[in-house]
Every structure is written in structure tokens, then in C-alpha cells.
Amino acid sequence: MTDPGPDPSISVEEAALFLGVPEREAGDLAGADGRVQLEKVRSLAGSAALGLELARAREEVGRLSGQLKEVRASNARLQRELKESVAERRRLTEEVLDLRAAAEERLMLMERIEHISRVEQDLEESSSELDRLRGRRLLDRLLNR
């Protein structure tokens, strides 16, 4: 079998560049030969990528949490407005029903007034006719008819 050889490694400067950290931090990862094992860089780079993803996810969660609060506040406001509009609609419906009842009562009163007016007119005509007939009798008596 062949010996796979030493683990691949890179310089501290390259490790710092790949990991996006200062050379001093990358130097802490270096072995006795002053080089950083590539496997350590891969592992840390993966962790850094996961850390970045986690940070992005936290930012997204924060943003979505803020939006959720806004939506809940808007929802509560809309529910209050809906309750108020339902109460207003009920009030207006009652007012319309009251107005309708008043209109029906007024119509009945107008019909009564018209009826009374017709009765008064009939009475006046009858009185006139009676007076006319009384006047005729008087004329008949005067003329001896």
C-alpha cells in the first residue's frame, strides 16, 4: 500500500483569507510547521458558512417577527373597526326601522285627515243642500205652491 502522505496544508495567510479572519487568529490554527491543515480550514469554513446562514436566518426571523407584529396590530385594528361598523349598522338599521314606522304612522294620519276632509266637504255640501231646500220651502210658502 502507498502512504497517502502528509495531510495537505496551506499557509496562515491563505487560511486567514479563506476563513475571513485576521492572520493572528489563523496563526492559532497552525501546526508546528507553521501551516494550517486543510481539513481544519474546511471544517472552520463550513462552520463559518453555517454561522453566516444562522445569522441570516436570525435576521430573517427578526424581520418576519416584526412583520408579524405589524400584521397582528393591523388585524386587531381591523377587528375593532369591524365591531364598530357592525354596531353602527345595527344602530342605522334600528333608525331606519323607526323612520319606517314613523312614515307608516304619518301615512295613516294623512289618510285619516283626507277622510275627515271628505266628511267635512260632504257635510258642507249637505248643509248647503239643506239650506237650499229650506230656502225653497220658504219660497214655496211665499209663492203658495
What is the model's pTM? 0.46
User: Which pLDDT does position 82 carry in this prediction?
Assistant: 98
User: Which pLDDT does position 56 carry in this prediction?
Assistant: 92
The C-alpha cell 381591523 sits at 78
Q: Which residues of the chain have pLDDT under 50?
A: 1, 3
pLDDT digits (tens, 9 = 90+) for 27-68: 888 888 889 888 888 887 777 777 888 889 999 999 999 999
User: Which pLDDT does position 95 carry in this prediction?
Assistant: 98
User: Which pLDDT does position 89 carry in this prediction?
Assistant: 97
Q: Which three cell numbers stand for residue 78?
A: 381591523
Residue 7 DSSP code: P
User: Which pLDDT does position 101 carry in this prediction?
Assistant: 97
The closest alpha carbon to 36, from 19, 48, 56, belongs to 19
Give the torsion sign (CA, 97, 101, 104, 110). negative
Percent of the chain with pLDDT over 70: 93
User: Which pLDDT does position 49 carry in this prediction?
Assistant: 76
